Amino acid sequence: MSHQFSRRRFLYTLSLGAAGTALLPACLRAGSATDASSYLVYVGSYGPAEQDNIWLYRLNPSTGALTRVAGARGGAAPSFLTVDARHRRLYAVNEVDNYQSTPNGGVSAFAIDATTGGLTLLNQQASGGTIPCYISLDKAGQHAFVANYGNGTVAALPLTVEGQLQPATSVDQHTGKGPHKNQGNARAHCILPDPAGKFFFAVDLGTDTVYGYTLENGGRLVRRAAPAFQAKPGAGPRILTFHPTRPLAFLINELDSTLTSLAYDARQGTLREIQTVPCLPAGFTGWNACADVHVSPNGRFVVGSNRGHDSLVVFALDEASGRLTLTEHVQLPGKTPRSFAFDPSGRVVLVAHQQSNTIVTYLADARTGRLTPTGTSVEVAAPVCLQVYPDFLTGKG
């Protein structure tokens, strides 16, 4: 996007900085992977590379309160991150276009200290393209997958048994463009496995396409002959997410501010449109770009974020038909909600305001889907990714 909120206007000038300063632990309460009295929140950001720019918070799901645990230096623009299933490793993209003087972004692997949540750099690799903006792992934890927005590639990077990143074994170049001014070339924005881990899907904002892949021997991404889904020209699909229990998926479209409900055929690896709904209230005429989308853990609601209108839009989901009905627009207290997340219980929604440098929380009504502000607001430099996990730390303050 070319609006003043564009992250990429300044990211193209960055180069990958050093990473690896260990997280400095604060006073910690004992917790376990099944302890529902608290959750851990890792935050990726566009904060300066010479300062802590990956953060760890503890979330109280009863009140929505956030307590800072630690911070780490994640290099330049560690914007999107993920944690492996055993909570031993954290992986982050470094959203730049000049990694070690090559036309690539970077990917960083960190070891997580099980006592403190501390991060120690394991290694880094080139991302297989420029301006990486999304990273995910396969179910076996053997590969990392990266979407590179700058030049429209997706890449697979094998992981060692110690969790280190190996060089990309597969890079696939998307081609084409769309009718919108921000669709002059392919713009890969998301790549993730389906719930069974059988198929992989890459969302390309520049070509209005969701591409399907399989992962073959040797870590090779093989694109399927036909696209998994073709969005409306100019829609600008950005992020795909799956329903927790139903054969449904949801696609947030950045450029035309819509949300598409999709039926998912897990045997064929195909997506079929059920419904596309607007994410903005009727009558709004200002600039807007949708950003993030999530399904509530109970499967009853789908929520998207609006940058420009600066709101969350909440839809009730008919799980039998996959159709969406507007519940409410929640006007946010900050600017540019690039990322938001539910906690695993579904009781709290956290929202990261990129332009306002804050994270706020809401309590979610499990029956109606409506959100109530908790009054919690913490300051974080340019937060752009929120990942919430069970409190797996064993340390005591």
Identify whether the C-beta of residue 74 lies closer than 8 Å to the C-beta of residue 44: yes
Cα separation, 304 vs 290, in Å, equals 7
Identify whether the C-beta of residue 352 lies closer than 8 Å to the C-beta of residue 359: yes
Over range 382-393, report the average pLDDT.
97
Residue with the two structure tokens 């604060």? 26
Judge whether residue 211 has pLDDT over 60.
yes
Distances (CA, A) of 396 to 80, 116, 350: 29, 9, 25
Residue 29 has a pLDDT of 27
Over range 191-216, report the average pLDDT.
98
Binned at pLDDT 50, 70 and 90, residue 106 comes out as very high
Cα separation, 209 vs 190, in Å, equals 11
Residue 10 has a pLDDT of 41
Percent of the chain topping pLDDT 90: 89
Identify whether the C-beta of residue 371 lies closer than 8 Å to the C-beta of residue 3: no
Strand 358-364, strand 348-353: pairing: antiparallel
Tally helices (H) and strands (E) across the chain: 1, 29
Cα separation, 104 vs 57, in Å, equals 30
Judge whether residue 4 has pLDDT over 60.
no
Residue 1 has a pLDDT of 38
Cα separation, 105 vs 128, in Å, equals 7
Strand partners, 12: none
Cα separation, 28 vs 20, in Å, equals 22
pLDDT tens by residue, 213-233: 999 988 999 999 999 999 999
Residue 395 has a pLDDT of 74
DSSP states of 192-228: EE-TTSS-EEEEETTTTEEEEEEEETTTEEEE-SS-S
The pLDDT mean for the chain works out to: 92
Residues 6+ apart with CB under 8 A from 54: 42, 43, 44, 45, 71, 72, 73, 74, 78, 81, 90, 92, 119
Judge whether residue 81 has pLDDT over 80.
yes
Q: Hey, is 251 helix, strand or coil?
A: strand
Over range 289-302, report the average pLDDT.
98
Q: Hey, is 261 helix, strand or coil?
A: strand
pLDDT tens by residue, 306-346: 999 999 999 999 999 999 999 999 999 999 999 999 999 99
Judge whether residue 108 has pLDDT over 70.
yes
**Strand 132-137's sheet: what is its strand order?**
132-137, 143-148, 153-158, 170-173
pLDDT tens by residue, 64-77: 999 999 999 999 99
Strand 248-253, strand 237-242: pairing: antiparallel
Percent of the chain topping pLDDT 70: 90
pLDDT tens by residue, 27-46: 222 333 334 599 999 999 99
